[in-house]
Structure 1
Amino acid sequence: MWKRSHRVMQEAGADGGAGGGDTGADGSAGSEGAPAAAPEAAAPAAPAGSLLKQGEGATEALPQEFIPDKFRVTKDDGTFDLDASARKLADNYAHLEKRLGTGDVPPKEVGEYKIEPPEAMGDYKAGEDPTMQGFLADAHKAGLTQGQLDVVMKHYFQAVPQLAGAFQQVDQQQATEQLQQVWGKDQKEFQRHAGLAHTATSAAIERAGLTMEQVEQAGLGNNPVFLRMMSALGAEFQEDTAPGKSSFRTFGEDDVQQLMLSDAYKNPRHPEHEKVSAQVRGYYERKHGTQAAA
């Protein structure tokens, strides 16, 4: 605000009195009789707390407003230390960057994750595996980046064979305990039943056009119910071995009875006696573990 001011010029007379005319002893007009002019009143000053004054510099942000409270540093005199605060903020950002990485963020959609299984897993497709898709959905909710997922899957695929072996061992042990209740705990007798199961399974997959590996992958190798059925059928098959190939044919109770009624079985001097006797003996050993009475 500006204030008006009037400069009153005073000129000293020869006798030291006020200039501009003589005055008498009683302060009346001088010799010329003109009254003295009254001084003009000064304009009032603007209030110290005006709104206009408060607006001064309001559009300029203070330096500390750009720094979060927990990173602000003050000097010994209590004033804000911009340099120290900026260094503290920068150090925290660098630490955070090391923890989270730079530029690697989770994909927008679960389907954007990329899974690369090892060659040993063959034609495995993660997109067709419900269990894997459920895991990826949880990983996306947890905020895993592609880089973090790669590390997880690397160690997962390395552990799969060991985990599968451990589970298979547990299944085999459980199956053994269940089958021992039926086949007995004698090791030789147990192996006989296992051999019958293998013979019957081999005959079945030969006719079905399957492989033993497919049977194992289906989980039948340690399935107690399947093994008991195959063991019961095993004695009904006889393996015919030819050069470079083995095949199976049925050889049941009726076949054995016919052999036992034949002259080749009854007559020790018959040229086929040893062969026929071995067939009969082998059938009963496979089925009962004992030889038929002569």
Structure 2
Amino acid sequence: MAGHFLRFRGFLKSLGPGEAGFVNACVGLTAFSLAFYRYQLDIQEQRERDAEQDAESTFYICHKVKPSATLQTMKRYRARLRNEAKELGLEQPINRDELTDEWLRRRNIGDPEAENINILRLRMKSLLRACVNFLTHHPEKVHYITGDSQDNPIGFNPITENEMRKILLYVEPLDQACCRNHPTCNWARDAPFEYNSLREVYKIPRDWPSTYQNEDDFGAKSTPEDDTNYIRISETVPSTRVAQKFHELETKRLEIERLEREVSILGRK
């Protein structure tokens, strides 16, 4: 090594003033290029570490919120609201906005079940914000969220397109109800950006879901809820004896309760 250095030093001494300056400039440029290359490598390594940390953070939120269980709870709650509205004799079909407005009314008066749904709504929004934040900083890692690759970190649970559609079906309408209830809120202007951002990721149209979106079938050719041929899966009764018998008893009980309410109302008049 020392011999190479001495020969190079001798070479520099043999150069003229202009030639020596040129060589020095080349050496300096090479050193700068190597340093800049190392700097770029450090940045790339830091980005990789950040991506892993963001993925872990999103996974933690996803694991804590448990989207599938949360969405199932929201679906069952909406189904109960719909059944209660039907028992009141309201004209069918009852659209989604009417049901979410009733949820909001109950939440505002402190109904425990409605308040629990509100907590689930806020948790789901935290998950959506974490996903959008992750994709904003690491768009190349979109498969971490969608699960379109086998390259996901071990244990990371992606959000499937079906789950994202359920989020748009059960969570976004609750936000819309809150907006309708606020005197200065304009949904077109004030809607949380996470919904449409994730619509773009999953290639879901901005006008989805429709007012009478089929909650059991998200296919393009599914029967809408306001169609006379629509049959809600959650309201079908299995043909076996036990289910049919209990359904018969339940139907009679509800009819008796309805008649009792009508008699009570007539009595007060």
Bigger proportion of residues as strand: 1
Higher helix share: 2
Between 1 and 2, higher relative CO (CA 8 Å, sep ≥ 6) is seen in: 2
Same fold (TM over 0.5): no
TM-score normalized by the length of structure 2: 0.26
Q: TM-score, normalised by structure 1?
A: 0.24
Whose radius of gyration is greater, 1 or 2? 1
